[in-house]
Structure 1
């Protein structure tokens, strides 16, 4: 089950990247209906099928080049849904053995909600509120699946621990060493900042504001552009019109969104730079060196990709990689928090295992 959960994480990353690709090539309405495409299970390509499709949707003639990105994304998302339902069914069957089953069931329910947002993205004509929530839902699904993998791996490791070690491990693990215990709320604060930055990135993408500033480090030649309209840029009651393809915000509104996203990136960078340095200094056992280094690497890569997006005017490969690395940064922070929580339990299991080995050596 753990292997299938790991596969679902990898597939979720692919789905997120395909979603970014679909948005970036303006194929969000490549198929005007859902879940099919012009009433077909695949993009109509023959002359007869295209004629039927155009008769069904006269306002949105068939564009095969834009239909396929949308349908490939749907096929991948549908496959992920089937895998998630399979994990839920397997968890129910194995619940008596102690396998976590509530989380797989919650993920299965959430994937249904995510599918609904996918439908509304099309039926509500790319309404930015729905598009942003759909993107956040994808990141949430990925995070939950990653947490499931960690819990399943922990369960498998627990099964391998000797009975003596299991008995001496208390039900409630103690707090980590004093040098690391105080970092827990700050780690959760960092996770909240990452979630807020991901939300800003989703709002930037949904409103086509990524190209609002094309220079660095300034925006349109100014450190703080005049005329930025934050009220317009963050108006969640905006109307869609016939559809929202290409966006409908004014330039001042888009600049306000873009600059806010840049400021958020600087806040995240400064926060984690200080936090990771402090963790490195106080982690005398070096248990968190690896996870902290992973966060640092993901953060550096994400900042670099963000800068490259602006410098090279949103090239498709870099823009897709920026979305994927955003997910990677989120998961690396979740993993760091997970490892922080496992510190006392890991130390106790290692101590118990060491004690068992010594006892066996003495009695031998």
Structure 2
């Protein structure tokens, strides 16, 4: 069972990367309908019936590469959903039943968000919600795996507050990153450390962070003006400083304790990598590989912080022999 959970978590991480690739290659509407592609099960079938596909969606001619990126994401996400439902069934008669139900409910909601992403033409709040839902699924799977471990380190409640604050800061930063991407604001500022020109004179928080934006035929490539997008971008950068500081502080405190040194070092190194990837995105104008890696790094940091918060508060409540699994 533990292997199934870890394999499913690895697949959830893969879905996050594939979703980032789909979004960053502007393939989110590679298939303008759902769950099929131009009314067919595969892009190959749509290509074989190109005239019919074009008649169904005359404003969106078939681009095979983008269609495969979008459908590939759906196929892998569907497999993830089936595995999570299998885990939920296995957990039904165990103490982890609530955890399994939460996973099942969230993956079903993720499916709905995936549908709305297409049917609402990349509405930013839906796109951001879909990203956060995927990260939450990944972290919940890792948390379930941790809950089943027979031996845990002694709790360290003294660092619970710092860990909780670091997690909150990171969640806000990830949400800001998703909002930046969903509104196509990733490259509106091309200089460091903040933005070019008198950026502070153009801040427009009211428009930048209106979750329900004015109705549009499509939100692809964004509908906000420069000031709103610049405000989103700048906020993401400035909050990154707060997030990095909180993560480095937590990592330093953990590394001072011998039993927690490895976890603290992992958080510190992952934070350094994320900062470097963020800077590279600005300096090199959002290279695809770097941008996808930045999404993956955010997911790994979230996993580390969720695990840290759980372990810091965990009690040695299990006395199973080494290697014995907790039923699930």
Aligned to 1:145: 141
Question: Does 2:269 match 1:297?
Answer: yes
Question: Does 2:305 match 1:345?
Answer: no
Question: What is the rounded CA distance, in whole Å, between the counterparts of 1:272 and 1:77 in structure 2?
Answer: 30
> What is the count of residue pairs matched by the alignment?
322
Gaps of 5+ in 1: 159-172, 354-364
Question: What is the rounded CA distance, in whole Å, between the counterparts of 1:297 and 1:326 in structure 2?
Answer: 13
Q: Following superposition of structure 1 onto structure 2, how do residues 1-364 of structure 1 map, counting pairs within 5 Å?
A: 1-44=1-44, 48-92=48-92, 95=93, 98=94, 100-154=96-150, 176=155, 180-221=156-197, 224-281=199-256, 283=257, 286-342=258-314, 345=316
Higher relative contact order (CA 8 A, sep 6+): 2
Question: What is the rounded CA distance, in whole Å, between the counterparts of 1:194 and 1:218 in structure 2?
Answer: 19
Which stretch of structure 1 is more off in the superposition, 19-28 or 54-63? 54-63
Shift >6 Å, 4+ stretches: none
Q: Report the aligned-residue RMSD.
A: 2.3
**TM-score, normalization by structure 1:** 0.83
Q: What SS does structure 2 have at the residue aligned with 1:182? A: helix
Question: What is the rounded CA distance, in whole Å, between the counterparts of 1:231 and 1:46 in structure 2?
Answer: 42
Gaps of 5+ in 2: 323-328
Q: What SS does structure 2 have at the residue aligned with 1:345? A: coil
Whether the 8 Å CA contact 1:44–1:50 is kept in 2: the answer is no
Which stretch of structure 1 is more off in the superposition, 109-118 or 37-46? 37-46
TM-superposition CA deviations, 1:19-45 (whole Å, max 9, x none): 110111101111111111111111145
Question: What is the rounded CA distance, in whole Å, between the counterparts of 2:255 and 2:265 in structure 1?
Answer: 9
Aligned to 2:325: none
Whether the 8 Å CA contact 1:214–1:311 is kept in 2: the answer is yes
Structure 1 position 60, deviation (Å): 1.8
